[in-house]
Structure 1
Amino acid sequence: MHEFDDLMEANRAFAESFDLGGFDGKAHAGIAIVTCMDSRIDPLRMLGLEHGDAKIFRNPGGRVTPQALEALVLGVHLLGVERILVVPHTRCAMASASEAELRVKVGASAGVDASWQSFGVVTDQLEQLREDVVKVRTHPLIGDRATVGGFLYDVDTGLLSQHA
């Protein structure tokens, strides 16, 4: 498939000087990050971390979903995670449109009805962040085994502010 030729060529160039092998898969800085899939976020660099330092779980809105909790439980018990950061961001699409608006936009783009699709829209980002942090702190398999904080990342300044 020619649609991926540029990426495969870039991968070959990457592999020629590949020096990231040999890691054991643990979070060497003891960090796990739940953040948004937004490409303006560079989770490692924003915290001064390097390859192998953290476990990163990304999804729309940086929400603590059941899948994120699953990843965090594994991180805490098997991968050396001691601190968890939940990090949504400013100007997030999941916080700037209603569920109905997103369904209309996606439906128009897809050319099919998208009224059945859920997108996990956030109406109050800071309140949702606090609720997500509580979900992690009170999870029976995480609890006091990790320190949990909630932060908002500003995509225009690169700064984090703590909210939970």
Structure 2
Amino acid sequence: MGDFDDLLAANQDFAASDFNFGGFDGVAQAGVALVTCMDSRIDPLRMLGLKPGDAKIFRNPGARVTEAALEAIVLGVHLLNVDRVLVVPHTRCAVASNSEETLRERVAASAGTDATWQRFQVVEDQVATLGLDIHRITSHPLVPDTVKVGGFIYDVDSGLLNQKY
């Protein structure tokens, strides 16, 4: 038994019964790009009423607009049919409810080794940080003004989005 056998078996079932994107061109059919958190309580497509193939999704801790996220947005806008970008952090997020020191201590305790060197992009004020991240996108020289950019907080307890920007 391999470490991933359960997932490989599920993949076999998926490929045999549910997979229907063979030959798909990979563009965002709904013109949407989404930057959201890696939190498993978020179902990015379903929360927006979308289906596979509709959106480009970039996930990271805290839903931050990092250099890698900007790269994905620029590619999406120019090559993959994206004309709307949503940035969606969420309530009860670990990087928004812990200090850098606390996260390092928790990781160190779990790892059994020093983690003081590891950087986490802790968010002290989610709404203010969201505003800065929206600005990073709207001021980027390769993101045209025609692209609509919105900032939202996703409530993991109600499933609702609250638009902030």
Contact persistence 1:136–1:142 (CA under 8 A): yes
Q: CA deviation at 1:145?
A: 3.7
Partner of 1:105: 106
Q: Does residue 148 of structure 1 match 2:143?
A: no
Partners of 1:2 and 1:124 in 2: CA distance: 43
Contact persistence 1:136–1:143 (CA under 8 A): no
Partner of 1:61: 62
AA aligned opposite 1:147:
K
Partners of 2:144 and 2:91 in 1: CA distance: 28
| Residues 11-65 of structure 1 deviation map (CA, whole Å, 9 limit, x = unaligned) | 1111111222221010010000000000100111011101100000000000000
AA aligned opposite 2:70:
L
Partner of 1:8: 8
Structure 1 stretches of 5 or more lacking a match?
A: none
Matches within 5 A, 1:3-152: 3-17=3-17, 18-152=19-153
Partners of 2:106 and 2:73 in 1: CA distance: 32
Partners of 2:54 and 2:39 in 1: CA distance: 20
Q: Runs (4+) of structure 1 moved beyond 4 Å?
A: none
Partners of 1:109 and 1:128 in 2: CA distance: 28
- The two structures, once aligned, show a CA RMSD in angstroms of 0.9
Aligned-residue sequence identity (percent) comes to 66
Contact persistence 1:90–1:155 (CA under 8 A): yes
Partners of 2:144 and 2:117 in 1: CA distance: 35
Contact persistence 1:76–1:145 (CA under 8 A): no
Deviates more, 1:27-36 or 1:13-22: 13-22
Q: CA deviation at 1:135?
A: 0.5
Task: Give the TM-score normalised by structure 2.
Answer: 0.97
Structure 2 stretches of 5 or more lacking a match?
A: none
| Residues 57-98 of structure 1 deviation map (CA, whole Å, 9 limit, x = unaligned) | 000000000000000000000000000000000000010100
Q: CA deviation at 1:5?
A: 0.8
Task: Give the TM-score normalised by structure 1.
Answer: 0.98
AA aligned opposite 1:2:
G
AA aligned opposite 1:34:
V
